[in-house]
Structure 1
Amino acid sequence: MAGNSTRVDDGGNEIPCFVSGTSIATARGEILIEDLKVGDAVVTRDNGIQKIRWIGSRRISPKQMEEHPHLKPILIEKGSLGNGLPDRHLMLSPNHRLLVNTDRVSLHYRDPEALISAKHLINPSRGVRPIAITGTTYFHLMFDQHQVILSNGAWTESFRPSDRSLKAVGNAQRTEIFELFPGLQGTEGRKNYAPARPDLKTDRAALVLFK
């Protein structure tokens, strides 16, 4: 079934989004997210090369950014995650989750890897902070499964269709996603679109320390 690329004009900041200018690792090398197309093959952490099934985008105007400060992206400075990552500055929507790998995570989960929202990593002294910009375009990528993909050298999540994220994309885009993935119309289908990693909750986020 063919995929679609759609502009998302409504919804809040619930969707995990990349900011325009972010480089995504693909089978053809790094490509700016705004230049990606449905069907492009992307490098994933767990499942090798996977094709993009859906791309959404939402333009945030300078006025919207000023009136709704919660839409400001989170800046993750080069090297702030440790081990030189990300390999250049990375900006994500507040609810976009990144992969963390530390022994502290394994104290609470079977796997030492978990996903944590960018907003829960805010620590200006460590180079993670909201940033005021004069508008931007947010992008999100969807695959057959929830994936962990490389953006500016750091592992980050793809779009996962939860109740909240599907509501946030708006009626037209939700209908389009349901056409691509009919099973997601039901609770069981959404449950089966399993998360790639456990979600590191707010009360445990403080346990994650970056060097």
Structure 2
Amino acid sequence: MRPQLFCVQGITATESTVADWAYQSYILYSEAGNSINYTSGDGVDEPGTLTDNTGDTEFDIGEELFVGETSVGTYYGSYTDGDSNVYLIVATGENVGIIYSTLDATTTESELPNNISTDDVNDTDPIPVCFLPGTLIATPDGDVRIETLQIGDVINSHQGPPIPIRWIGRQTVQMTLGPAERMLPVRVRAGALDRCVPHTDLDLTPDHGLMLDGLLCNAGALVNGTTIHPIPKAELGERYVVYHIEVEDHQLIIANGVPAETFLDNATRRTFDNYCEYVERFGETEGMQMLAAPRVLSRQRLPARLRDRLDQRALALAAPADAAA
């Protein structure tokens, strides 16, 4: 089974002021070309905790990590096997390092492949375009919760005929591996974009595009801290699941009453839990053509007219609460 990867690499602290990650065993590796190799039988059962001692709550690629007060190397990235077991990879020198595991040494060696491709190590921060559970997708028969949709179901497109679902990606994000604050899912409150738009709160990843005034705006670019804001980590729990809908082309569908983009493969499809299902159905397919609409990636790029309108919506939604107070 091909490994699946997490789409985030930050490590969230527990009760301390540093990021930490408990492990049960480790094994040394060497890197040759694009292959990370280890020797069978060399795993060591020695529990411990990796920390960064920096006072933040995340491990960042390239930062120094410690066990106790001893430096053990720099954070290389994370790897997740086909059974969703997570391993942290720490570089200790040129082309050498340590693989840390939450499993005992014997189980670790049975779960890991003989060699790990560096292409399968999450050393960046790929975040797929996704919806969170409960998102209501418009279909010819009415709104349907995204987690209940199936491949082949027909959904409404924005200003076009209904279209069949080609694939539904599913990814589990564990909060012990992030995400970084800037990549937390975003909540667009009901009525935040226009009167009754969305018609109910819409939760989605920050890079998910919503069509507003002919612009494909990343949800993260719309954040104003009040009616559009990151979802608190405490609400997300230890883990949460995100979903993406893929159709034949990059399209706009309707989510909670808002025109929203479908999945556009930009090398992140392989990060989904059910990526193997995709490969079995379609093989390794090429990416698709992006929608022609201009894209707004940050709030600084948001046109003043649109920013002002969203601010006015925030004031309008706050007015009843202010009156009640």
Smaller-chain TM-score range? 0.7 to 0.9
Amino acid at match of 1:118: A
Q: Which residue of 1 aligns with 2:210?
A: 98
Query: Taking structure 1 as reference, are residues 46 and 119 closer, same or farther at Cα in structure 2, changes over 3 Å only?
Result: same
TM superposition shift of 1:39: 0.3
1:159 aligns with 2:263: yes
What is the total number of aligned residue pairs between the two structures? 184
Query: Taking structure 1 as reference, are residues 158 and 166 closer, same or farther at Cα in structure 2, changes over 3 Å only?
Result: same
Contact 2:185 2:231 in 1 (8 A): yes
- Structure (1/2) with the larger helix percentage: 1
TM superposition shift of 1:29: 1.2
TM superposition shift of 1:193: 2.1
Query: Taking structure 1 as reference, are residues 73 and 182 closer, same or farther at Cα in structure 2, changes over 3 Å only?
Result: closer
Q: Which residue of 1 aligns with 2:104?
A: none
Distance of 1:86 and 1:176 partners within structure 2: 31
Q: Which residue of 1 aligns with 2:244?
A: 140
Amino acid at match of 1:140: H
Higher relative contact order, structure no. (Cα contacts within 8 Å, ≥ 6 residues apart): 1
- 1:1-211 alignment, distance < 5 Å: 10-12=6-8, 14-65=127-178, 68-101=180-213, 113-125=214-226, 127-132=227-232, 133-134=236-237, 135-163=239-267, 165-166=268-269, 168-169=271-272, 173=275, 176=278, 180=282, 184=286, 190=287, 193-195=289-291, 197-202=293-298, 203-207=300-304, 208-209=306-307, 210=310, 211=313
Structure 1 runs not aligned, ≥5 long? 1-7, 102-112, 185-189
TM-score (norm 2): 0.51
| Residues 67-109 of structure 1, C-alpha deviations (whole Å, 9 max, x = no match) | 64444210111100012210011111111111111xxxxxxxx
TM superposition shift of 1:27: 1.8
Distance of 2:294 and 2:207 partners within structure 1: 15
Asked which structure has the greater CA Rg, the reply is 2
Q: Secondary structure at the match of 2:301?
A: helix
TM-score (norm 1): 0.75
TM superposition shift of 1:41: 0.3
Query: Taking structure 1 as reference, are residues 205 and 168 closer, same or farther at Cα in structure 2, changes over 3 Å only?
Result: farther
Q: Secondary structure at the match of 1:136?
A: strand
Distance of 1:93 and 1:34 partners within structure 2: 16
Contact 2:5 2:271 in 1 (8 A): no
Distance of 1:27 and 1:155 partners within structure 2: 15
- Structure (1/2) with the larger strand percentage: 2
The runs of at least 4 consecutive aligned structure 1 residues that moved more than 3 Å come to: 61-65, 67-71, 165-170
Distance of 1:15 and 1:90 partners within structure 2: 17
When the two chains are superposed, the root-mean-square deviation of aligned CA atoms in Å is 2.8
Contact 2:171 2:272 in 1 (8 A): no
TM superposition shift of 1:197: 2.5
Q: Secondary structure at the match of 1:156?
A: strand
Q: Secondary structure at the match of 2:152?
A: coil
| Residues 31-83 of structure 1, C-alpha deviations (whole Å, 9 max, x = no match) | 10000000000100143100000101112234345x64444210111100012
TM superposition shift of 1:11: 2.5
| Residues 135-159 of structure 1, C-alpha deviations (whole Å, 9 max, x = no match) | 3210001000111111111111110
